[in-house]
Structure 1
Amino acid sequence: MNKEMKCFGCGAIIQSENEKHIGYVPKSAINKDKILCQRCFQLKNYHKLQQTTLTKDDFLNCLQQIGEKDCLVVYMIDLFDYNGSLIQGLIRHIGHNDVLVLANKRDILPKSVKERKLEHWVRRQLKEEGIKPVDVIITSGKKHMNLDLIYDAIMTHRQNRDVYVVGVTNVGKSTFINALLKHYADVENQNLITVSEFPGTTLNLIEIPLDEKTSLYDTPGIINDSQMTHLLKPQDIKSVIPQSELRPMVFQLNSDQTLYFGGLARLDYCVGEQANFVAYFSKNLKIHRTKTQKADDLYNRHQALQYEIEGIEDITQMKSYEFQLPSGKCDIVISGLGFITISSHGGKIRMLVPPHISVLMREAII
């Protein structure tokens, strides 16, 4: 069997020796022109996830190869979880190649936010990371937003070079590439790249020819262990990740009041005058307000809380972060879960989240 045969859904090298390893296909199905591995078949048809043994280093090694080529890098970031979607040390990995930034999942943020404002916000954040893109385009792969603009930008900036689409897991690379394939190449649904909400769906480079000499490549998503999705049970991921426009929930908090976010995170307003807390999370995630003095007991009884994290049975097992609030607006971001926009005259909050989950304060996006 040709060792270079790959699954067109995830890029895994096809094999028929071990049903539990990636790329498995029964020998009877190997003679087809386009081969879909068993894992992708189960994802597409039964929404069933088969876990893989690939590590973060495996994905980084794939990214490292891009730095050795002369190419255009299309860097996808997630507007809903911008900080969680950043690839640390991206420039070090991709060398001197040009970078076109696509800010995806515009459809998740409220329609009232102007596209131009989002673009300027993204450019300011990229500047802090030392990234100088050839352009920044706001998009929604799911809604095919600005697809013609993106296609023209890729064709302009690639200058007859290969194109590599990079990003962390679940940023929407494969959804975006499928949109391009359907719009410009008239590819049928059964021949599209496998897409799911599960982290790490694409397992290897997937090559899509642009012309006789160059190709566009979908790359495996880089794993970011600090995102909440990596701690959730597979059946909970879809309900926790927003699938549609965020509906802000507004809370007026006094000091010594607490908000619980589905049992996955907690915010204590420790010190300060009455302030405005606007929560941007999935509509399926229940937010519960209580007095801080009752908050520990509430968590430990698991009342009014939705999701549980394996290994955490007591609130003391959560990691604590403290933030001094500026006067004005800021966001507190829980990576992979959502963010809270706080308008205050200063004060102090404490965030409690599972260990390894990233929490940070940033310039307000809305």
Structure 2
Amino acid sequence: MEKLYCQGCGIMIQTENQTELGYAPKSALDRDPILCQRCFRLKHYNQVQSVAISDEEFLDLISQIGEASGLVVHLVDIFDVSGSLIKSLPRLVGHNPIILVGNKLDLLPKSTNQRKLKQWLRSSAKSMGIDVKDVFLISSAKGHGIDELAEAIDDYRAQKDVYVVGTTNVGKSTFINRLIKRSTGENNVITTSYFPGTTLGFIEIPLDETTALIDTPGIVNKQQMVHYVSDHDLKLITPNKEIKPRVYQLNSEQTLFFGGLARLDFVKGEKQSFVCYFANALPIHRTKTANADELYRNHKGKLLSPPDQETLSQLPAFTEATFRLTEEKTDIVFPGLGWVTINRPGTTVRAYNPKGVSASLRKALI
């Protein structure tokens, strides 16, 4: 078969895998111009479709930003910051400035301290070697914070291109669609969305006559919980509305299971409240630590659910980490799931996560 290329983004057309770059249905091959499905939806429906690429492909693609001049907008998931921060980003984008955008603000409890959240996002990025110019909190789904961010982008970009980067499942396509809607109006379809010489895999959405907002494919980061759970389980662990805190009064040597996807042992300390912030649909089960191993062996995927059978077939074994808390009000963060707030210093806990998805500590956000 003759090689065909999308006249929108320049990617080679393929008709086999709808979730990969360059997909077009066979019926589209007779059209003029030939567009991949991603470019077709942008041109005719004003929508950006999310696609994913491997780590290696992403590195090759994004490294081209370092040879250009523009602003990098790095979108991360507030519920999975460690999994959605791209550690190699500074090396790839060169001296181009980076602003960090935390998405899914609407799902946090209204009592969340947004100033502390911004500080934590900035320090998390810094710990990975990412120096950011500014930090913003938004909701792609609800539109919260979009106007403020859009104005800041205009200031920071200094009449240069804007590159939007992020891992899969951070809401990048929804975010870009919000920006398109804001700049063009809901019913005003973009008719000129493609510049000559567009880099393979990028989609360029004009900001003015000389610069563009550039969408990049999402990177698949295997340190994200999302890649180990079934579609059914993903719906259970992903909040779809404001999460409600669940409070457990625990004595030492008691354990909380978050479905069967994570576990927290109260090893040592005074009786106290453990405040849990997870998707409202994710069951939490309390038991004695002495019984926890047997309970997990016999009931994961049943009483301790999710995981379902599909998730069980791909979920890595648990690894554990012990933390002795030295400050008042500390969060134990379970990436991709949520967090537990513990109020008293001097408390010792042990966290269990699937291997590669590590728990961490931060100052409490609430």
TM score, norm. by length of structure 1: 0.83
Match of 1:351 in 2: 351
Paired residue secondary structure (1:101): strand
| In structure 2, distance between residues paired with 1:189 and 1:249 | 44
| In structure 1, distance between residues paired with 2:350 and 2:130 | 31
Match of 2:6 in 1: 4
Paired residue secondary structure (1:331): strand
1:251 maps to a residue whose letter is Y
**Is 2:255–2:265's contact at 8 Å kept on the other side of the alignment?**
yes
Cα deviation digits, residues 156-210 of structure 1 (max 9, x gap): 111221110112222222111100111211355998xxxxxxxxxxx93222111
| In structure 2, distance between residues paired with 1:204 and 1:289 | 47
Paired residue secondary structure (2:349): strand
| In structure 1, distance between residues paired with 2:34 and 2:187 | 12
Q: Does 1:281 align with 2:278?
A: yes
Match of 2:151 in 1: 152
Most deviating of 284-293 and 294-303:
294-303
Paired residue secondary structure (1:14): coil
Change (3 A) 1:34 1:212: farther
Q: Structure 2 matches for 1:247-286, cutoff 5 A? A: 247-286=244-283
Q: Does 1:172 align with 2:174?
A: no
Change (3 A) 1:179 1:13: farther
| In structure 2, distance between residues paired with 1:318 and 1:126 | 26
- Identify the structure with bigger relative contact order (alpha carbons < 8 Å, sequence gap 6+): 2
Change (3 A) 1:119 1:288: same
For structure 1, which runs of at least 5 residues remain unmatched after alignment?
Answer: 42-50, 192-202
Match of 1:239 in 2: 236
| In structure 1, distance between residues paired with 2:117 and 2:288 | 35
Most deviating of 273-282 and 77-86:
77-86
| In structure 1, distance between residues paired with 2:329 and 2:189 | 46
1:159 maps to a residue whose letter is A
Shift of 1:245: 1.0
For structure 2, which runs of at least 5 residues remain unmatched after alignment?
Answer: 42-50, 191-199
Shift of 1:33: 5.9
2:206 maps to a residue whose letter is P
Shift of 1:267: 0.9
Change (3 A) 1:225 1:255: same
| In structure 1, distance between residues paired with 2:250 and 2:217 | 42
Cα deviation digits, residues 63-84 of structure 1 (max 9, x gap): 2221121111111122222222
Shift of 1:130: 4.5
**Is 1:261–1:285's contact at 8 Å kept on the other side of the alignment?**
yes
Q: Does 1:83 align with 2:82?
A: yes
Most deviating of 77-86 and 265-274:
77-86
**Is 2:352–2:359's contact at 8 Å kept on the other side of the alignment?**
no
Match of 1:100 in 2: 99
Q: Structure 2 matches for 1:47-58, cutoff 5 A? A: 54-58=53-57
Match of 1:329 in 2: 329
2:6 maps to a residue whose letter is E
Paired residue secondary structure (2:107): coil
**Is 1:281–1:337's contact at 8 Å kept on the other side of the alignment?**
yes
TM score, norm. by length of structure 2: 0.83
Q: Number of paired residues?
A: 341
2:100 maps to a residue whose letter is V
Change (3 A) 1:126 1:33: same
Cα deviation digits, residues 32-71 of structure 1 (max 9, x gap): 6684539x99xxxxxxxxx98x422112222222112111
Match of 2:139 in 1: 140
Match of 2:222 in 1: 225
| In structure 2, distance between residues paired with 1:115 and 1:34 | 46
| In structure 1, distance between residues paired with 2:17 and 2:111 | 49
**Is 2:228–2:314's contact at 8 Å kept on the other side of the alignment?**
no
2:312 maps to a residue whose letter is E
**Is 2:79–2:335's contact at 8 Å kept on the other side of the alignment?**
no
Shift of 1:260: 0.5
2:96 maps to a residue whose letter is N
* Identity in percent: 44
Change (3 A) 1:275 1:188: same
| In structure 2, distance between residues paired with 1:86 and 1:19 | 27
**Is 2:6–2:34's contact at 8 Å kept on the other side of the alignment?**
no
Paired residue secondary structure (1:81): helix
**Is 2:80–2:224's contact at 8 Å kept on the other side of the alignment?**
no
Paired residue secondary structure (2:180): helix
1:235 maps to a residue whose letter is H
Paired residue secondary structure (2:149): helix
Paired residue secondary structure (1:76): strand
1:348 maps to a residue whose letter is T
| In structure 2, distance between residues paired with 1:265 and 1:208 | 41
Cα deviation digits, residues 67-107 of structure 1 (max 9, x gap): 12111111112222222221113212211111122222111
| In structure 2, distance between residues paired with 1:262 and 1:74 | 34
Match of 1:48 in 2: none
**Is 1:256–1:291's contact at 8 Å kept on the other side of the alignment?**
yes
Question: Aligned Cα RMSD in Å?
Answer: 3.1
**Is 1:227–1:337's contact at 8 Å kept on the other side of the alignment?**
no
Paired residue secondary structure (1:346): coil
Change (3 A) 1:35 1:230: same
Change (3 A) 1:241 1:34: farther
| In structure 2, distance between residues paired with 1:225 and 1:129 | 17
Shift of 1:133: 2.9
Change (3 A) 1:157 1:27: same
Most deviating of 220-229 and 274-283:
220-229
